[in-house]
Amino acid sequence: MAESDDLRDDSSFPLGAVSKGFRGRIVEVGRLADADATDPDAFSEELERRLLEIGFVEGAVVEILHEGFWGRDPIAIRVDDMSVALRRREANAVWVRADASSSVSR
Amino acid sequence: MSSWPSDAFRFALVGNPNCGKTALFNTLTGKRQKVANYPGVTVESKRGRLTTPSGRKMVAVDLPGTYSLRGRSPDEAVTRRAITGEMADEPMPDLIVCVVDATNLRLSLRLALELKATGVPVMIALNMIDIAKARGITIDVEGLARELDLDVIPTIAVEKSGTEALVTAIDHVAQSAHPRSTPHWHEQSAEEVRAAHQFVNELVNRHVQTPVHSDRWTRRIDNVLLHPVWGILVLLLVLFFIFQAVFSWSQPAMDAIKYGFDSLGDTVKTTLPEGMLSSLLADGIIAGVGSVIVFLPQILVLFFFIILLEDFGYMARAAFLMDRIIGGVGLHGRSFIPLLSSFACAIPGIMATRVIDNRRQRLATIMVAPLMTCSARIPVYTLIIGAFVPETNIFGIINLQGLVMFGLYAVGIVSAFLVAWVFRVFVWNGKSEPFIMELPSYKRPSLQSVAMNVLQRAFVFLRRAGTTILSMMVLIWFLASVPGAPEGATDPAINYSFAGMIGHFLQPVLAPIGFNWQIAVALIPGMAAREVAVGALATVYALGSDEGALSTVISAHWSLATALSLLAWYVFAPQCASTLSVVKRETNSWTWPVAMFVYLIGLAYAAAFLVHGVTEAFAS
């Protein structure tokens, strides 16, 4: 996971903020988006571990496949070999960066 | 299971949800299964027996699907506690068969590592190897086995021949079974989970080749089924079709069952001398159990579709599409299907909540399921609407009777949402659970496995009808028939019975909501099933079973306020002993059925009181 060493630069953003068609890589799991920092439900180590356990791990390739009809929420995400549905609020704990190499193949 | 030696070799199937674990369990054990609830949790345990080709008798345990052994609630901890032998009535397994989805290795292998770390012997069943091959995934099985230091056996769960190698391997382990060490487990930190992922990633990179687009079909199907517009249209079509099927396909069978129970009751009445025994058999047991069994065809059809769509992979999509709407009140996207099923009957609805892995959301779904207008309410609604609501059209197109019926359905749905919301805010202090759900790739369902699961559900339902429901029916019959009418009595016999006494006793309490003593008495046998109240009313008014006459009588005897009040009562009232007994079984505690009864009675009384008062104010 060499990529995850130089995290937290300006080009990463929470997965909950991206739109359908986005492709990228996870750079960090468990950091809270500033907007949710005051929301006690939004983040916990519990959520971090649950996200990790279902495959949201640093370095994984993600792609937003679908968005819900109402408020474009929840979102369906391709994570490596599987698809997972998440609400955007939970997705905000996953930080991603657009991936140049995977964008080319789109 | 009594015929199996208690020291028989036991193996537990453990794996991610959607890994084909239950299909494998069904193929391995066939019909020799036993389903029971673990004490203290809402999760069921499935045990099955099998005999290996060498003649060894074994017990297989199907444990709940999970992504990790860490469980936050007692329900989620079942898998871990069963493995480590902490579960009462569940001896520690001699072997864990970790069922691994060959098309989605990473998560499964991480679980396999966690299992291996417990010290219990582990073997890997590399399941759905056929699908992986078809998708062009190549797996170096020996390489994986070597690096994991575990036996890895490719399996195809849906085919008997696809499990032979696994049975042989398990038999081999059983042969050389040696004294086991005490299992140990510690909760993994986030960093440990990351490290395990990294190890598995490297392993997969070395031994598995996956084409870039390995699962084109799932992507293509999802482009339609998860589409914001088309997806919802398809969902509505699917629901429409299921409802059509539930109500029309099952009708002939329901008629046949009703006819069967009716004629059985008549036969008993004509053959046995008139008296208590004949009445107990005919009016109590046969009629009572018949009024519940009559829903079996609907339940079977409903479960057939639910299980078929679940195995195909569609249920997770339906949950995705509906999550935003029902998630707002604290339910789970997966609550949608159980609630929908409850429009046919709350019993299969409550049984279908097993797909919700979160305990709180599952309980909230169970608690609001009876608010969905089940088909047993339809005869009651039809009777009252037919007698009191004029058959006029509003604006020339909307039928007033139809509108009232629609309104009753709508009130049920809206109240379910409100109750779920109140539940979330006051019972669970506003905590909302995260929605994290795998969208499994689509799979061709195995009809054999679907049929087996449907039959299992039917069996559970019948066992309920045969035990708890039967005793309820006998009790209700007893109340409605004992003591009998005195000599020369002019009123129907039920008036002199305990039900009559209870009805008369309750009448002052029910007077503020406009119920006369006839209604109060009819509500007691109506506890058997809602539609029984119609027949009971006819009995109280001494009319026999002519429902046309009943309509005339009640329209002459009741005020409009009373009629509407009874409608409001039936939207909420827990007039169904079977539902309460199923809640008892599914939640494995008396707390929830009692809480359900109390809150529904409260709502029913309040709604009826309000409707009665408002109608009287306007009508006068």
What does B576-600 look like in DSSP terms, one character per residue? -HHHHHHHHHHHTSSHHHHHHHHHH
Q: Are B380 and B535 in contact (CB under 8 A)?
A: no
Which own/partner contact pairs does B274-278 have at CB distance under 8 Å and 24+ positions apart? B276/B481, B276/B482, B276/B484
* Cβ <8 Å between A70 and B325: yes
Over 90: is that where the pLDDT of B495 sits?
Answer: no
| pLDDT tens track for B515-548 | 998 898 888 888 878 888 887 887 777 665 555 6
C-alpha distance from B12 to closest chain A C-alpha (Å):
21
Q: Is A39 on the interface with B (CB under 8 A)?
A: no
Which is higher by pLDDT, B18 or B180? B18
Residue B74 has pLDDT above 80, yes or no: no
- Which residues of A are less than 8 Å from B212 in CB distance? 105
The pLDDT assigned to A2 comes to 41
Q: Judging by beta carbons within 10 Å of its beta carbon (0-12, 13-18, 19+), is residue B478 exposed, middle or buried?
A: middle
Enumerate residues 6+ apart whose C-beta is below 8 A from A56: A26, A29, A62, A79, A84, A94
Asked if residue B282 has pLDDT above 90, the reply is: no
Contact by Cβ (8 Å): B261, B292: no
Q: What is the mean pLDDT of the segment spanning B4-25?
A: 87
Residue in A57, A83, A84 nearest the CB of B197: A57
Contacts of B434 in chain A (CB under 8 A): 47, 50, 86-87, 89-90
Interchain contact, B437 vs A83, CB within 8 Å: no
Judge whether A65 is closer than 8 Å to chain B, CB to CB: yes
Of A41, A53, A76, the CB nearest to B320: A76
| Mean pLDDT, range B67-75, rounded to an integer | 79
Res B280 pLDDT > 60 = yes
* pLDDT bucket at A40, cuts 50 / 70 / 90: low
Of B321, B432, B438, the CB nearest to A68: B321
Percent of chain B with pLDDT over 90: 38
Indicate if the pLDDT at residue A3 is higher than 80. Answer: no
CB contact under 8 Å between A30 and B222, yes or no, is: no
C-alpha separations of B543 from A58, B485, B502, B554 in Å: 74, 17, 21, 11
Phi/psi-derived region of residue B38, left when phi > 0, alpha when psi is between -120 and 50, beta in every other case: beta
Out of A46, A55, A73, the one facing B324 most closely (by C-beta) is A73
The count of other CB atoms within 10 Å of the CB of residue A89 is 22
**B194/A52 touch (CB, cutoff 8 Å), yes or no:** yes
Q: Does B541 touch chain A (CB under 8 A)?
A: no
Q: Is the ipTM of this complex over 0.90?
A: no
| CA-based nearest residue in chain A for residue B313 | A83
Contact B278, B429 (CB under 8 A): no
* pLDDT tens column, B80-93: 888 888 877 778 89
* Per-residue pLDDT at B503: 87
Residues of B in contact with A105 (CB under 8 A): 212
pLDDT tens, residue by residue, B311-330: 899 989 999 998 888 887 88
Return the residue of B nearest to A2 by Cα: B198
Q: How confident is the model at residue B183 (pLDDT cuts 50, 70, 90)?
A: confident
Q: Could you tell me if B146 and B49 are in contact, meaning their C-beta atoms sit under 8 angstroms apart?
A: no
Give the mutation candidate from A44, A67, A83 for the B interface (greatest B CB count, under 10 A). A83
Closest CB to B438: pick one of A48, A58, A84.
A84
Distance between CA atoms of residues A11 and A100, nearest Å? 12
Could you tell me how many CB contacts below 8 A there are between chain A and chain B? 119
Question: pLDDT above 70 covers what percent of chain B?
Answer: 94
Query: How far away is chain B from the Cα of A57, in angstroms, using its nearest Cα?
Result: 7
pLDDT band at A105 (very low <50, low <70, confident <90, very high): very low
| Residue of B111, B227, B324 to mutate for A, most A C-beta atoms under 10 A | B324
d(CA B282, CA B269): 6
pLDDT in tens, B105-118: 999 999 999 999 99
B70 interfacial to chain A (CB closer than 8 Å)? yes
